Structure formats: C-alpha cells, structure tokens
Structure 1
Amino acid sequence: MILCERCPDNPTCDNCLVALRSGGAANKVVPPRTVKVTNLATMESYQAKLVAVSRTTIGLSSSEHDLHGRIEIELAYDFRIIGSGLRGIAGDPYHIIDIEKVLRREDVLERLLLEEFHTWHMSGELDPTDVLLHWKDRDDERGRLIKQEIQKLSILRQIETIFLYLYDEGEVRPLGDARASVEVEREMQRLVEEAAGTGGPVREQIVTSDGTKVFELYTSVLPDRTCGIALIDVTAVIAEERKRKRREWEIYRDILGVVTEGKLLLLSDEELFFLLREGHKLLAIDIRLPEQLAELRKLFKQALEPQGISDKRLLQFLVAVNEAASNTLKHGNGGVVTLYLSNDRQMCRAVIHDEGQGILLEDIPRATLQQGFSTRHSLGAGFHVILQYCDRVYLSSSLAGTKLILECNLSR
C-alpha cells in the first residue's frame, strides 16, 4: 500500500482502510495512537502507531520494524490484541494485523465478538480504564449475552472442522488461516449473496461435486450490517450417524426375527430389490378406494389359481393381502399392490407399497406385534392375521413410505 503524504494524520484518505479488506466495517484512528508491540516468537518489544481498525483486522504503522508473524499489541495495561502480521511490501511502513483474539482481564473475546473493542475506537475514547475496571461486576443484559456468546464460540473454536468467514460489501473473507476449498467457498459465496437481501439468519447445506464432503453453512447478520459465517464440515458426523442408525436397525431386525421365529423380517430397499429379482411380475393395481379391494381379490385369484395353490392357501393369502391393502386406505391415501411369482413357480410375493410417512423404527415392534396398537403410521390391528396367514412377511419403511411383502409358498 502507498501511504499519502499526510498519512497517518489525513482523515480524508482511505488507503489504509482499503488495505484492511473489511469494507464499511473499517475506520481510521485519528490521531494515530502509540501502542506497544511484542513479537511472540522473539519476545522483543517496540512501539508502533495504531492507524486503522476493523472488526477482524487492524493497521499499524512502523518504519523501523517488520511486523509479521504472531504479535501482541498492548492498548492498555489489561487490554491486548493477539494477531498475525501479514507480510507486506518491503520497506512499506504500513502493516495489516489479522486479529485472533482480544484479551481483557482474563476474558477472551473471539473474532466475531469484538463489538466493544470496535465501539471503543469509533467513539474516539482512548482511555478504556473506566469500562474495564467494572467489567467483572457488570450484570446487565448485554454483559450476560456477551458472556454466553463467548462460551459458545470458545466451544466452536475447538472444532477443527469449522471455518469462520466475514461477508461485507459483496466479499467473503476468511477469519484466520483455516479455510475450505475453492469449490466450497464459491458455492458459499453464491448462497450468502442470495440470502443477503433477507436480513435474517441462513442455514444451508453444501455438498462437494464428488460427494465426499458435506458442510453445514450458518450465517448471522452482525450489528454493523456485515455477516458472520460459520462453515462446519459434518462429513464425519453424518457417516458416524449412518453407522449408528444401521447398527440400531440391525438390532431391531434381529429382535423381530427371534420373537417371530424368522417369520417377520426387516428389509432394506437394496435387499428388497434383489428379493424381487428372483421372480417376475404378474400384475399390479393401484388401490385408492375401498371399492377397489374386491377387484384386487378377483385379480389375485385369477393369477394364482393356475399356479396349483390349494383353495385354503389361496383364501388365507387373499385375506392377508386384503388386510394389508385395506390398511393403506385406513392409515394413508392408499397405495400400489404388486404380485410377483418366483422363477421356480413355487413362491408368490405380494408387495403392498403405501405413500405415507413411514413407521418410526422404535414403533415397528408395537406396530407389528402388539394387538390394538394403532396410530396413523401403524400397520393396523389386523397385522397378526397377516403374520398368521403368510409363510413370511418382510417390512421396509422409510420417509418414502412403507413396503410390506407377503410371501406364500404355493406348494404347501
């Protein structure tokens, strides 16, 4: 950056503010203030001039020392800034310091909680002693809110996969060295720009093009009309949650299998696909009205009688299919009933698929085995009849609906 001839005492020049890359959130300190600077690597101390300040960066002027690396800027005996100096142009006395935290009487205000530091400079107040002396005794609502935010943000800062950004005047700037990939940042910028006009908080999900990474995006409008952004990598969390749900699902499957002696089994969609591939489809009917149940029984009878099934087995199977189809009308908007015949023509399977919201995993044992248990997501009070009249029953349920597969051995 090239300073003007009257810098740093010229209030009309904004070169030092542009260099902070903080948009409208930056202001000059006029007149510049002398501060003590300590290089945390060598512990050498010297003086510099505080020229400009924003929520996330400050500008220091020093013609004698190169202010890069981690440094501490002491503004008062108990008011310090810890930051990282960015390497600038050789010989340029102006240095940009990326703020990491503000320390005050053992309290830490992280990057997005610098309102008081910012307000202190904007008001022209150069002696913060009056504010600082009574900090620990403050009990007003604002003080409590700040302390709560400090606790929450200190927890977030411990998460290695969280990236913090600031959005100001159309530009997204990372707060610190940690940042996401270019692809993710590009998508983040697009989402933030689309939501900028709403003025409210935004929560979105970003998935990388190869599907290997998933991020949760949270934005919050700050008091100075900039926007704080938290981008959290939730890939590992989602993977672990899927494993947990899979283990829970397998436990329920094993319990149902043991209790019913292998007659009722939970089935995944993938397992259902391979099961039905063992045969071919004979018919399918869409059931939306009670009057269609009679047509369903008629079509099933016409399709199964030529397969050599006994009259008693056919009647029992029709009762079970009718009960399952009837439940789709009682507890939803109907569904589709499909009949499959195995390739060896010894087994038939009826698939009853409703379009409801599915059954919660923890409700499946009661919905299938407890007589009288009835909710809008249950399988109805007659499910014990279905278990009794079929050789095996498979159940697959998700938010896309519930699939009930009734299996009947034709040769019995």
Structure 2
Amino acid sequence: MIVCEQCPDNPDCCNCLLELRSGGSAQKVLPPRKVKVTELATMETSQAQLVAVSRTAIGLLSSTRQLLGRLEVELAFDFRIIGSGLQGINGVPYHVVDIEKVLRKEEVLERLLLEEFHTWHMSSELDPTDVLHNWKDRDDERGRLIKQELQKLSILRQIETIFLYLFDAGHLRPLGSNRADPDVEREMRRLVGEAIIHGSSLREQIVSQDGKKVFDMYASILPDQTCGIALIDVTTVIAEERKRKRREWENYRDILGVVTSGKLLLLSDEELFCLLREGHRSLAMDIQAPEDLALLRRSFKSTLEPLGFAATRLLHFLVAVNEAASNTLKHGSGGTIMLYIVPDQQLCRAVIHDQGQGILLEDLPRATLQQGFSTQNSLGAGFHVMLQYCDRIYLSSTAAGTKLILECVLTS
C-alpha cells in the first residue's frame, strides 16, 4: 500500500479493503472522515482518518501513533465502536480495528415505554415474586399497582418491534411469542453477563448480523436475582430520522440558494468530493498561524497569474481566500487550503477546510448572511466579502468541520 495524495481515496486501489478481510462487505469511505480514537488501556486520545468499513472491521490511517490493543473509535456524533487494533500493513500507518460492539452515543427515540418497563423491574416496592400470589384477588393498593404494571407489560409484549426476555438460571426466555434472531440473542447473553458482573443495568445498541436491523438493547438486574432484557427495533425510527434531517437540510439548501441567487450552495461532503474530482490540485498548504497568510497569498498569486487572470479580479479572489483562511484561525486551530484548476471549464476553486465543531444547520442562514451575527463557529463578517468577490461558494458543515469552496471563473 503506497501512501500518496491519491491514497486512500483512489477508487482503483483496494489494498485497504483487502486488509479488512471482510469479503464483499468492505467499502471505502469517500472522502475519508476524521475520527477520535481512545486507547482504553491508557485513555489517551488521538485523531485518525476512517478510510474503509465493513460489517466486522474498519480501517484507520494514523501517522501520529500506533493504534493497537483495545480501542474506542468515535464516529462523528452517531456511533462509537469498541474493538481491537492491529497493524494493517508493515511500514504503513494503516490499522485494522476488529469490531467487537457498536454503541449509540445519543438517544434516538422516545423512552416512555421502556422507562415504564424499567420502573416495574427496578422498583423496590414492586417485587415481581408478588405476581405469583393471586394478584387478581387482591384489592389493596399494592395489588392494584402490580396489576397495573402487568397490564403495561402486556401492552409491551404485543408491540412487534419490542422483544422482552427474562434471563434466569442461565436460560434466556422470551416473554411472549416474539423472539429475536439467534445472533441477536447471543448479544443479549453477552450484555446480561456484563450487567451481572457490574451489578447494574446496561444499555447498548447493536446491529444484526446481516446489517439490516439496528436494536436498542437494555439489560436490567431484577430484585429476584434474575435479569430482564428489553430489545427495541429502532431501524425504522433511525431511517425516518435520517429522512427528516435530509428534508430539513434540503430546505436550508433551497433557502440559501434563493436568497443569494444561486451564489451560495449547500452541498454534502460526497457532492463536494465529486466536485473536486473535476479539476486537478495545483497547490496545498496548512494554515496554523497568522504569518502563514502572507505565504498563502503569494503562492496563490504565483499559481494563478499565468492563467490570464485580470489584475483586479485576481486581487479580489485573493482577498476572499484570505478571509476564508483567516476564519480557520479565528474560530479554530487553523485548517488546510488547496487550489484546484478546472481547465475545461476555465475556472479555479479554492478549498478551505477547518476541523472545528462545524455550524449548526439552523444557524447557517444567519452565520452566512446576517452581518454582525456571531457565534463561536460563525463564518464571520468576511463571508460577505467572499460572496461579493467570488462567482460561487459551496459550503458543507458537519461535526467534523467546515468546508468552503470559493469558485472563480478565469475569463471574466
């Protein structure tokens, strides 16, 4: 595996996929994503690039440190992976992490029913052994509460997307007719074992062996030394949430496009990556301190002048690029600036990428269009200069950072 400017996003190279040893399920991450890695033995953290994924392993590039032993890999704001790191190819900073389990970082559904289930099993006032003593004949308050909890459990058992189990004396028994697949039940047994060792309730999110289902799984230690398990199929919930976020994102994209007469376009990372493949990269440099800005302007000028830029237009474009680069220092720890030339379209594109926290979707209109609006992650007043001096601006902002592409037609 040769590490070069085309690796790991060269679609014709499959070395990083072969190292995952996952067959046809392995795929490249285009473009690579920044991830946070924690070594569980020392709790030391570092940054890496996620370049390949499969159902059983992921591939990471880390030039700063070896990623060996037990690791936690945080993938943006959705999932965390627990696994074991291995050197992928000798002499190359590519590491394979065998996936042991996948954890959800944030809530993805309303928890009312599940909390009721937990309340019944964990309350010291409601011992499940009382259920065995003719609860139908009891008319006291304790009996009424037991009956109420049993009715709640009956409702839960009738919901097809919820599986309820009881683990007792080494046996896993479903409460009702719904039963999960064997691979999911194996995960239940593992989580129950961990809950028993810790002596507390545990929650985890898992993916089915075929990769088609996502479940929230809860194991609760019960007063009678058994363990209750609730398994909720959240596949549809997650899919609907993604659709909702996609519709919301498209609404903001349309608003920004209309208000700026098409000069400001909101694009996804994948769309930006495809856009950059239209041209070739002429230069790239890191901006880490204010003194780097002068070198940036000189480098851009020496590259663009031979292409026939009018002096005034070139000056304006350099001002816009300087403003964008300055923002990476004002609102973060700097960034990467690249220049792409697209000869067949007679235009150039400056790509500015910072690795800050990104801009919230609901803040994008004000962060880009409202003068004086300021947050920690705002693009600042200089964005109006960029809009004025560029023919078009492409923007992508996620939790992994903000990418700007300033586009200028060479012949105008």
Bin for the TM-score computed over the shorter chain: 0.5 to 0.7
2:138 aligned to 119, 124, 132, which one? Answer: 132
| Deviation at residue 209 of structure 1 after TM alignment | 3.2
Matches within 5 A, 1:55-66: none
Secondary structure at the counterpart of residue 141 of structure 2: coil
Secondary structure at the counterpart of residue 344 of structure 1: helix
Aligned to 2:183: 183
More deviation in 348-357 or 179-188? 179-188
| Deviation at residue 148 of structure 1 after TM alignment | 8.2
1:118 aligned to 119, 124, 129, which one? Answer: 129
Whichever of the two has the greater Rg, that structure is: 1
| Deviation at residue 218 of structure 1 after TM alignment | 1.5
| Deviation at residue 190 of structure 1 after TM alignment | 2.2
The whole-number CA distance in structure 2 between the counterparts of 1:176 and 1:388 is 65
Asked if the contact 2:160–2:178 (Cα under 8 Å) also holds between the matched residues in 1, the reply is: no
Change (3 A) 1:136 1:207: closer
Residue type at the aligned position of 1:118: T
Aligned length: 294
Asked if the contact 2:195–2:220 (Cα under 8 Å) also holds between the matched residues in 1, the reply is: no
Change (3 A) 1:402 1:148: farther
Asked if the contact 2:337–2:353 (Cα under 8 Å) also holds between the matched residues in 1, the reply is: yes
Aligned to 1:168: 168
Change (3 A) 1:277 1:118: same
TM-score, normalization: structure 1?
A: 0.65
Matches within 5 A, 1:171-250: 171-250=171-250
Secondary structure at the counterpart of residue 408 of structure 1: strand
Asked if the contact 1:348–1:407 (Cα under 8 Å) also holds between the matched residues in 2, the reply is: yes
| Deviation at residue 194 of structure 1 after TM alignment | 3.0
* Cα shift readout 1:349-401 (whole Å, capped 9, x = no counterpart): 11111111211111100110011111112111211111111100011111111
Asked if the contact 1:170–1:193 (Cα under 8 Å) also holds between the matched residues in 2, the reply is: no
Asked if the contact 1:390–1:406 (Cα under 8 Å) also holds between the matched residues in 2, the reply is: yes
Secondary structure at the counterpart of residue 261 of structure 2: coil
* Cα shift readout 1:267-286 (whole Å, capped 9, x = no counterpart): 01121121111101011111
TM-score, normalization: structure 2?
A: 0.65
| Deviation at residue 172 of structure 1 after TM alignment | 2.8
The whole-number CA distance in structure 2 between the counterparts of 1:372 and 1:165 is 56
Matches within 5 A, 1:3-402: 115-116=126-127, 118-119=129-130, 132-135=138-141, 153=153, 156-344=156-344, 346-402=346-402
Secondary structure at the counterpart of residue 371 of structure 1: coil
Secondary structure at the counterpart of residue 133 of structure 1: coil
Aligned to 1:101: none
Change (3 A) 1:148 1:409: farther
Asked if the contact 1:163–1:231 (Cα under 8 Å) also holds between the matched residues in 2, the reply is: yes
| Deviation at residue 240 of structure 1 after TM alignment | 1.1
Change (3 A) 1:387 1:329: same
**Regions of 4+ moved over 4 Å:** 110-117, 126-129, 146-155
The whole-number CA distance in structure 2 between the counterparts of 1:156 and 1:127 is 22
| Deviation at residue 149 of structure 1 after TM alignment | 5.5
